[in-house]
Structure 1
Amino acid sequence: MKQFFALFLLIFTFLGCSSDDDLRRNPYLPHLNFSVNFDLSLPEYNQLNFPGNKFVTRNYGINGIVIFNLNNDQYMAFELTDPNHVPQPCSTLTVEGTEAVCSCGDGNKYTIITGQQIAGEGEYSLKPYRVERVGNVLRVSN
């Protein structure tokens, strides 16, 4: 009987485990694997050498990424697809100052500083990407 109880407890423990990422996985946005380097010594990325500046590229991610320099030690990178829509032409976000704006008519707006939704409807914030600075190079990946 003790063996049955121990086995039951072990199975229950394994089945009950899940990560927060699984619980909060966005059903609208596909998961992409990529890694890209941005050399901050190149003129194209020069604005990322100064806190409060951003860089937008449409070459990576689903509909592009935005990188924001918070303080030269912390950089934020987010997907430029509205996380509260299935990807479609209107869900491509445009960056206006420090806000990413959706054109699907629902008023969705997000801050590119934290990724949080600041207007509109939905339960998901912007999809974040990892940013690592090594010397003069930013590596953005997921």
Structure 2
Amino acid sequence: MKKIIPLFLISLLFFSCSDNGFNNKNPYIPNYNFSVTFDLNLPAYSNLKFVSNAIYYAGPDVGPKGIYVFNTGSGYNAFDAACPNQALSSCSTLTLNGINLVCPCDNQEYSLFSGQGKLQYPLKQYRVEVIGSILRVYN
């Protein structure tokens, strides 16, 4: 009986782990492990201090098309810059249109607040961590 209780507690901890519902699986966009930081005190990223502003970052360390980072007012969202419902091609880099991203291949729009559009796959979202004036975006 004494051996069963610790085993039960360990299995309870194992099954109670959660990823907070975070899912960024998309058959068109490969998974890249990355971590990139943005200092909001630098002029290139200072627009992110204000609600409804976004920046595009296309460094070599974040995947084939880059990422968009957006200030929602209650936090930050980061999305892959590849069209979520298109195979990677010359036209599959999303473009910024106000608070939406537009896929030039099919003219579909996706909200930077939710990542949702009208087609099957939403924008591929990445995690964002805020540490003072530093944003860390990672997969």
TM-score range, shorter chain: 0.7 to 0.9
User: Which residue does 2:36 correspond to in 1?
Assistant: 36
Name the structure where helix makes up a greater proportion of residues: 1
2:63 to 56, 61, 64: 61
Deviation of the 1:133 alpha carbon: 0.4
- The alignment's TM-score, normalised by the length of structure 2, stands at 0.77
Q: What's the CA shift string for 1:58-81, capped at 9, x where partnerless? A: 22332011111112x510010111
| SS of alignment partner, residue 91 of structure 1 | coil
Root-mean-square deviation (Å): 2.0
In structure 1, runs of 5+ residues without a counterpart are 1-18
How far, CA to CA, are the matches of 1:21 and 1:54 in structure 2? Answer: 21
Aligned pair count? 118
- Judged with a 3 Å threshold, the aligned counterparts in structure 2 of structure 1 residues 21 and 47 are, in CA distance, closer, same or farther, namely closer
Q: What's the CA shift string for 1:66-124, capped at 9, x where partnerless? A: 111112x51001011111111111111111111111111x2311111110004xxx310
In structure 2, runs of 5+ residues without a counterpart are 1-18
| SS of alignment partner, residue 104 of structure 2 | coil
- The alignment's TM-score, normalised by the length of structure 1, stands at 0.76
Which of the two has higher C-alpha Rg?
1
User: Which residue does 2:92 correspond to in 1?
Assistant: 91
How far, CA to CA, are the matches of 2:51 and 2:71 in structure 1? Answer: 5
Does 2:132 match 1:135? yes
